[in-house]
Amino acid sequence: MDRIRIVGGSRLSGTIPISGAKNAALPLMIASLLTDETLTLDNVPRLADVALLKRILGNHGVDITVDGKRAGQDELSGETVHLSASTLVDLTAPYELVSKMRASFWVIGPLLAREGYAKVSLPGGCAIGTRPVDLFLEALEALGARLEIEAGYVVAKAPEGGLRGARITFPKVTVGATHVTMMAATLARGETVIENAAREPEIVDLADCLVKMGARISGAGTPTIRIEGVDRLSGARHAVMPDRIEAGTYAMAVTMTGGDVLLEGARPDTLIRPLEVLRAVGAEITETNAGIHIHRNGAGLKPVDVTTEPFPGFPTDLQAQLMALVCKADGVSHIRETIFENRFMHVQELARLGAEIHLDGQVATVVGVKALKGAPVMATDLRASVSLVIGGLAAEGETMVNRVYHLDRGFERLEEKLSRCGATIERISG
């Protein structure tokens, strides 16, 4: 099993190209099930989750081809992927695939809308909370679907004549259910209105792609999304948005270690609250046409109080990274997690590096320490694993991060990007 070895203490300097967003690429790939024409996606990141979704879509009969590397192309640039679901051969998403990645459950919306039937295993993914699918299923029922749970599978059937538009009000903001409902509603008869919809940039990215395919969608990025159903969707070409979580992660790494880095391609409009927090901690941030420039000259880190919230608030997917950052702040920070009930599993591993963190329910109190010390640590989930990398970059001596397959799910060539900027970091295979 691969490990990542880090020797801390190096400042980061240079340019880090930001990859396409995993959280945008996955629903965009799933949207290919809505049409019998080819959907071409540019800037698709090379990640374990993307590879797994290719297998899942291939199981349904989607023909997937990837463009070869072009002359002069940077090895860190994204792939161009062509997805053609001209004929769907299997409407079942099996447990052995879906259990490995939660987002693969989302195929239920396009399959149901296009074919009138879907049988999808209940999902898996990171062990960071229950994350039930009740809101997904209630939304599909509102569109007219008949649902049954059979031996761990959701069996969904559309009424005769297909799904029909409806007004759906989510009791709480849910990114996944917003994605699924929006995709299913594109082929439903009549108008669908989604109230209390998620406003994340990835929702907007999916809506933009669906509109290119012929969907009629307005309001994406606001709490109310309207979809007027159409008879069919066509193929299209769309570039995956840059990954705001990757950009925020590297911004915190630079703030933690000190240095001067351009996050090439990063979009400040998707990181408004995280950038505010980083400025409060002590980073100097300049927004440019090329991306986001992060600088810290070695001045001390300041403590902050942060609560995770749906977009445009501070994202839960950056909570672990922020916690690692403020471990060396001059004072006491408080981080309240409101999205997932089990997302502090990185605390005990950061403590192995010398962090002083106290938990009280969903609030972590972080008492800044003078120095972190390198140690062997264990990754517990995707975002927790990269928080250990950030801690290791600033720790004295060697840190060995074990079980890095979590990292490979969401960060493309992380050690290469950091080593290019002066970090002493390497992957050890086996």
Detail the residues annotated as belonging to a binding site for phosphoenolpyruvate. 22-23
Per the CB < 8 A criterion, the answer to whether 329 and 368 are in contact is yes
Q: Which of 126, 209, 327, 421 is catalytic?
A: 126
DSSP three-state, residue 385: helix
Q: Which residues of 171-197 are buried (b: 16+ CB within 10 A; e: fewer)?
A: eebbbbbbbbbbbbbbbbbeebbbebb
Peptide bond into 242 cis (omega under 30): no
Rg (CA), the chain: 22
Q: In whole angstroms, what is the distance from residue 136 CA to residue 141 CA?
A: 9
Identify whether 126 is a catalytic site residue.
Answer: yes
DSSP three-state, residue 337: coil
200 burial level (CB within 10 Å; 0-12, 13-18, 19+): buried
Peptide bond into 312 cis (omega under 30): yes
Q: In whole angstroms, what is the distance from residue 318 CA to residue 270 CA?
A: 13
Which of 269, 316, 259, 297 has its CA nearest to residue 23? 316
Question: Is the four-CA dihedral 201, 205, 208, 210 of positive or negative sign?
Answer: negative
Q: In whole angstroms, what is the distance from residue 189 CA to residue 229 CA?
A: 5
Q: One-letter amino acid identity for 309?
A: E
- CA 126 centroid distance within chain: 12
303 burial level (CB within 10 Å; 0-12, 13-18, 19+): middle
Q: In what order do the strands lie in the sheet with 305-307?
A: 305-307, 332-336, 363-367, 356-360
Which residues are documented as binding site? Answer: 22-23, 102, 131-135, 317, 339
Which residues are documented as binding site for UDP-N-acetyl-alpha-D-glucosamine? Answer: 102, 131-135, 317, 339
Q: In whole angstroms, what is the distance from residue 401 CA to residue 406 CA?
A: 11
Q: Which residue has the tokens 């297909």?
A: 162
Q: In whole angstroms, what is the distance from residue 422 CA to residue 402 CA?
A: 22
- As annotated, the active-site residues are 126
